[in-house]
Chain A
Amino acid sequence: MTKKEDELTWKDLEIGAVITEPGNASQYRTGDWRTQKPVHDFSRCIKCGLCMIYCPEACRFQNKEGYFEADLFYCKGCGICYRECPTMVITMEEE
């Protein structure tokens, strides 16, 4: 699919809205459900990866320095990473 989902017109859909491209759920922006987002103070981070393991969206990725950030395209703002982080790196901030 060359167009983003919010650019697709009704004429772009396959008959019966059949999906012909595998994995296109990755284009689904779950991030727009969010009312809060995680913000990080990585000075306390021990890189244990618990936040990544517990994230229900599997949207936490390791950056170049090895810290775990949230991909805000998918992050639903559930706050589980904030709850699970043993060193309180994460705080939830209103959008």
Chain B
Amino acid sequence: MAQRVGMEVSVAIGEIVKLANTDVVSAYPITPQTHIVEHLAELVADGELDAEYIPVESEHSAMSACLGSAATGARTFTATAGQGLELMHEVLYVASSMRLPIVMTVANRALSSPLSVWSDHSDAMACRDTGWIQIFVENGQEAVDNTLCAFRIAEDNNVLLPVMIHLDGFHVSHVIEPILLPEQSQVDAFLPKNNYPLPLDTDKPVAMGDFGPPVIYTEAKWAQEVNLRKSKETILKVWQEFGKSFSRYYKPVECYRCEDADTLLLTMGSYSETAMTTIDKMRGEGKKIGLIRIRLWRPFPFEEFRQAVKDIKTLIVLDRAISFGGPGGPVCSEIRSALYSQNNRPEIVSFIGGLGGRDITVAGFEEIINSGMEIAETGSDNEFEIFGVRE
């Protein structure tokens, strides 16, 4: 039986990447992702993980090396954060459109400037159109479980897409948590060998990432879009099978005390755990309040999300990123468009907060919920409310 062991979440992610028998790791260290790739470098150097560790001079090169590796059919992992993810940006599109199953941990970090190593979701949101599967986790156990699931999802021949696992830098990456790591035999039973269907092979040469003139580009992009949307079926199936094997279940939209709620708060990532405490407190006071979290950000779970909010009056959305000069937080603007076509849509109130590692406490969430409910009644001329800014 697997033992629950106290360890730093970054180390635990390294351990699950090892248990997944990863063939190639290529990464460039950047705070707050560093401990993940340092631990993997140690495991390879100590001979505990039989993998190729490719040290590179930048994240652009890290992702480029991952392309080549995944194209040969090797199980491929990398990790990054913040500016590093931005430096990879153009290569991210190549990975998804070439359908290369790469797994990447992103320790969410705010973008410069001013320079911040602390967490928010501006790096994650800047990648929402890159064609990757994006999954948000809230704590160490979820990070470990979903990293394992990510390999199986990415490499499934009905998917063949790269997957980002988003965990908040420091708030998740650097804390020591009790982690249940699976046994090698359990991992081997859950995760089949990578069987990439069209690998680079000198006996059967193919050309990848080739020229696509106007006559074919639209077809290529539509094929990619259909495939990413369809990947949700496999993601659900993999989470279901993970639940059967490990008794921990994951859903694209997670609900907490949503039964008979008329107001829901929506969060993503680690702050959800603080928000739950607030929900418990306000429920204790008899308020009909619940919390929903979007775990699967891409492909966006339209059906599950609409189902989760269909009976409520007010939806208060917390974004941890700003779409500058735009309609407010990226999450809220997507949610507004997901609900626009619905007959019974709730009042939606948009908050932006928790930027660059700024904490939101239990009392802070209470303030967000209370003023959100008030704005839902009275209306507001603002595209969004900024939480916690000093006037």
Given A5-B215, A6-B215, A28-B213, residue A18 in contact with residue B198 (CB < 8 A)? yes
What's the minimum C-beta distance from B287 to chain A, rounded to whole angstroms?
50
Is B267 in the interface zone, CB < 8 Å from A? Answer: no
Within 8 Å CB of B206, what residues of A?
A: 14, 18-20
Give which listed residue, B97, B211, B220, contacts A10 with CB less than 8 A: B220
Contact at B160–A17, with CB atoms within 8 Å?
no
Is B174 in the interface zone, CB < 8 Å from A? Answer: no
B120-162 CB mask vs A (1 if < 8 Å, else 0) is 0000000000000000000000000000000000000000100
The count of A-to-B residue pairs whose CB atoms sit within 8 angstroms is 56
What's the minimum C-beta distance from B378 to chain A, rounded to whole angstroms?
48
Count how many chain B residues have C-beta atoms less than 8 Å from C-beta atoms of the other chain: 24
Given A5-B215, A10-B219, A10-B220, residue A17 in contact with residue B226 (CB < 8 A)? no
Count how many chain A residues have C-beta atoms less than 8 Å from C-beta atoms of the other chain: 19
With A and B bound together, what is the CA distance between A15 and B73 in angstroms?
Answer: 14
Within 8 Å CB of A8, what residues of B?
A: 216, 219
Contact at A16–B98, with CB atoms within 8 Å?
yes
Report B's interface with A, CB cutoff 8 A: 97-100, 160, 197-198, 205-213, 215-216, 218-220, 222-223, 226
Across the A-B interface, give the 6 residue pairs with the lowest CB-CB distance, nearest first: A16-B99, A10-B219, A19-B207, A16-B98, A10-B223, A17-B220
28 residue pairs from A and B, CB less than 8 Å apart? A5-B213, A5-B215, A8-B219, A9-B219, A10-B218, A10-B220, A10-B226, A11-B223, A13-B216, A13-B219, A13-B220, A15-B197, A15-B198, A16-B98, A16-B99, A16-B198, A16-B208, A16-B209, A17-B97, A18-B98, A18-B207, A18-B208, A19-B207, A20-B198, A20-B206, A22-B205, A25-B211, A28-B213
